[in-house]
Amino acid sequence: METCTVKGGCPSDYIAIALSILSFTVLLLWSIFPFLVHKVPRTKGSGFWLPVIQVVASFNLLLSIVMSNNFLKMGKRHWLRSCYLWGVWVEGPLGFGLLLSCRITQASQLYFIFVKRRLPLIRSYIFLPLILLPWIAAGGVIHSMKPLSSRCHMKAQWTIPVVSLHSLYIAILVGVTAAVHHIEFRFDELKDLWRGILVSAVSIAVWVTAYILNEIYDNISWLEVASRFLLLVVASILVVAFFSISSSQPLLSQISLRRRESREFRTMSQALGIPDSGVLAQSEPISRIDPNEPLDKLLLNKRFRLSFMAFADSCLAGESVHFFDEVYELSKIPEDDCVRRIYMARHIIEKYIIAGVAMEVNISHRSRQEILSTSSLTRPDLFHNALNEIIQLMKTNLARDYWSSMFFLKFQEDTNVRSNEYELEQMTGWNFSPRLSSVHGIDDPFHQDHLLKSSGCSNDTTDL
């Protein structure tokens, strides 16, 4: 036991490593499951790369604990034994510090979007490095002062500053979470934030306890082996429980993570419970289309809009019609329902407005900046100017070709068929409606039916 305590390679070490590999595999499958199974298109921006950075930071954290705590049996002078590489840089700024910074970035986004009701003032790719700077500075100071022992244990006078840095970031995360706790989130954002705070606080408590025990009882070999086993197991639990995509991609979290539910939300309007969203209902009213009417008025008809959308998709220009459809769904949300309006507006911006996204709509730079720099995401006219530009673009590029396309002919045919079926149902319902006849006896054409019905009623009465 004493040999493997110093050199590494104890049976418990390999068990802990196996558990860490298993936890990271679960985390990796959890993060890529939507893209492999549901074929969800990759988004551009922080909604995609923040979860990716969390996965990388989780790997760094687990690997640094393995390499800096003598889990593997290696020579003391092997370059992979560098305490300052693994115990300072990879475990700190690139591991636990990066995990906490990602979660603080996500929490700050929720604060700006739902409390301030506007997009964050600082982009995530700038905000994240800024909030990570204290970790980088602390790593530089520790690397220059070299307070670590040959067994990668930190001296007592350095423990308090390091623990204080960890606690400071948890306190910041608690503060931002408390600032948004009154928001009635429609997804799991708040629950995930509190869960991240809990598991990170427990992890720091376990690490501090293990450090104190190792410093006080340095001569007890089994205690060191048990403490490093506990460190890696707790870190393995941390990386799985800490990971979250609900803050960055709330709709994706509903589609991919709740696999036990029979119902899956394919659109944000469905997830928000907007009335008459999603698949066309059979009870949708039937109305004939006049091509001479304005296009924006025709698009209010859901059957026509879906037909026009299919035509636009076939021309590889469907983003304009999809944008109109989602803005129309947004208009159904009451103005006093701020949370749902913010969810829908944020979804539209990330899907259609941000430059470079797959479904980016062709609007002017002025309209785009007007949306991105808005002071209120709940404004009823937030997408008004952009929508007018899109309608003019559809009139010019799509509408003329649609009237002579097979999509319009099929739409007309379906409309005629449904209209005829509706008229037939009305006539059928009239024929079998109850009626009174003034003709009696054999001259009554319904006489036979009356006899049959009368006999049936009399038989029932007799039986009674």
At residue 249, does pLDDT exceed 90? Answer: no
- Do 131 and 16 have their domain in common? yes
- For residues 236-264, give the mean pLDDT: 70
Phi, psi dihedrals of residue 154, rounded to the nearest 5° = -90, 145
Mean pLDDT of the chain, nearest integer? 83
- Rounded Cα distance between 436 and 183, Å, is 63
- Please state the domain count of the chain: 2
At residue 280, does pLDDT exceed 60? Answer: no
- Do 45 and 166 have their domain in common? yes
- Rounded Cα distance between 235 and 249, Å, is 25
What pLDDT does 207 receive? Answer: 84
What pLDDT does 254 receive? Answer: 63
> Residue 335 falls within a domain, yes or no?
yes
SS3 185: coil
- Do 310 and 252 have their domain in common? no
> Residue 283 falls within a domain, yes or no?
no
At residue 407, does pLDDT exceed 70? Answer: yes
- Do 243 and 311 have their domain in common? no
- For residues 418-433, give the mean pLDDT: 58
Q: Kindly provide the residue ranges of all beta strands, DSSP E only, lying in 37-152, ordered along the sequence.
A: none
- Rounded Cα distance between 382 and 374, Å, is 8
At residue 268, does pLDDT exceed 70? Answer: yes
Quick one: pLDDT band at residue 458, thresholds 50, 70, 90? very low
Whether the CB-CB separation of 410 and 307 falls below 8 Å is answered with yes
Length of the chain: 464
What pLDDT does 255 receive? Answer: 57
> Residue 446 falls within a domain, yes or no?
no
- Do 247 and 299 have their domain in common? no
List the domain range (segments joined by +) for residue 231: 11-258
Q: What is the CATH number of the domain that holds 85?
A: 1.20.1070.10
Higher pLDDT, 209 or 391: 391
- Rounded Cα distance between 101 and 141, Å, is 20
- Do 210 and 313 have their domain in common? no
- Do 124 and 244 have their domain in common? yes
At residue 454, does pLDDT exceed 60? Answer: no
> Residue 438 falls within a domain, yes or no?
no
The most distant pair of C-alpha atoms in the chain lies apart, rounded to whole Å, by 116
- Kindly report the pTM of this predicted structure: 0.83
> Residue 435 falls within a domain, yes or no?
no
Percent of the chain residues topping a pLDDT of 70: 80
- Do 252 and 334 have their domain in common? no
What pLDDT does 139 receive? Answer: 94
> Residue 281 falls within a domain, yes or no?
no
What pLDDT does 327 receive? Answer: 96
What pLDDT does 422 receive? Answer: 56
- Do 232 and 348 have their domain in common? no
- Do 192 and 293 have their domain in common? no
What pLDDT does 282 receive? Answer: 54
Question: Could you give the angle at which helices 124-145 and 156-180 cross, rounded to 10 degrees?
Answer: 170
- Do 121 and 235 have their domain in common? yes
Percent of the chain residues topping a pLDDT of 90: 52
- Rounded Cα distance between 177 and 457, Å, is 72
At residue 25, does pLDDT exceed 90? Answer: yes
- For residues 276-281, give the mean pLDDT: 64
> Residue 212 falls within a domain, yes or no?
yes
Cα separations in angstroms, 303 against 288, 306, 309, 421: 10, 5, 10, 16
389 token code pair:
């530009």
- Do 339 and 249 have their domain in common? no
292 token code pair:
């001479």
What pLDDT does 80 receive? Answer: 63
462 token code pair:
């007799």
Q: What is the CATH number of the domain that holds 358?
A: 1.10.167.10
> Residue 429 falls within a domain, yes or no?
no
What pLDDT does 90 receive? Answer: 94
Between 268-272, 284-288, 359-363, the lowest mean confidence (pLDDT) is in 284-288
For the segment 111-153, what is each residue's pLDDT rounded down to a tens digit?
999 999 999 999 999 999 999 999 999 999 999 998 887 777 7
